[in-house]
């Protein structure tokens, strides 16, 4: 929400972070326990997807180093980071999952398909350079 083009969305995110910072228990001293979020089928905006404010007890790691003044600046200008969200490895995984979805039906079948393809690829010889590959043996 901090990178959203909508200024009111960014302001809401900054307000939530500030309220988390003012909470009596410091989230910096606790181990963050993963809890799968409950998805609302009727959500139309990012704010609708947020859990109740009482459920938000941890500040995002990306903003922990920021001061309150820096957070206020984000309301005026969206947050931009240099963290890549896509890499070749991610693209390979997306392609593999798409292929598996076209080939088989069901979670377990898709998982088995992906594991079989990965195991098969691991068995294949891997060459450091093209120079090491010799298709025609003398």
Let me know if residue 72 belongs to a domain. Answer: yes
Q: What pLDDT was estimated at residue 53? A: 60
Q: What pLDDT was estimated at residue 28? A: 53
Say how many domains are in the chain.
2
- Indicate yes or no: pTM above 0.85: no
Same domain, 14 and 70: yes
**pLDDT, tens digit, 9 for 90 and up, residues 84-105:** 767 788 888 889 999 999 999 9
Which band of pLDDT confidence, cut at 50, 70 and 90, is reported for residue 119?
very high
Query: Minimal CA–CA distance to 97: which of 121, 119, 113?
Result: 113
Q: Per 3-state DSSP, what percentage of the chain is helix, strand, and coil (rounded to 5)?
A: 55, 0, 45
Q: What pLDDT was estimated at residue 3? A: 87
Let me know if residue 81 belongs to a domain. Answer: no
Same domain, 71 and 93: no
Same domain, 70 and 14: yes
What is the domain range of residue 101? 88-125
Same domain, 23 and 70: yes
Same domain, 93 and 71: no
Per-residue burial over 71-85, b if 16 or more Cβ lie within 10 Å, else e, is beebbeeebeeeeee
Same domain, 33 and 58: yes
**pLDDT, tens digit, 9 for 90 and up, residues 41-68:** 888 887 777 766 655 567 888 888 899 9
């Amino acid at each position: 929400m901090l990178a959203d083009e909508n200024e009111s969305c960014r302001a809401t995110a900054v307000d939530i972070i500030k309220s988390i910072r003012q909470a009596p228990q410091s989230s910096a001293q606790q181990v963050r326990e993963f809890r799968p979020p409950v998805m609302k089928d009727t959500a139309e905006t990012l704010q609708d997807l947020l859990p109740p404010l009482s459920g938000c007890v941890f500040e995002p790691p990306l903003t922990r180093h920021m001061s309150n003044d820096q957070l206020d600046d984000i309301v005026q200008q969206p947050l931009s980071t240099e963290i890549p969200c896509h890499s070749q490895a991610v693209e390979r995984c997306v392609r593999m999952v798409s292929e598996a979805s076209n080939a088989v039906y069901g979670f377990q079948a898709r998982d088995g398909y992906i594991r079989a393809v990965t195991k098969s690829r691991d068995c294949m010889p891997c060459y450091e350079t093209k120079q090491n590959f010799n298709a025609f043996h003398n």
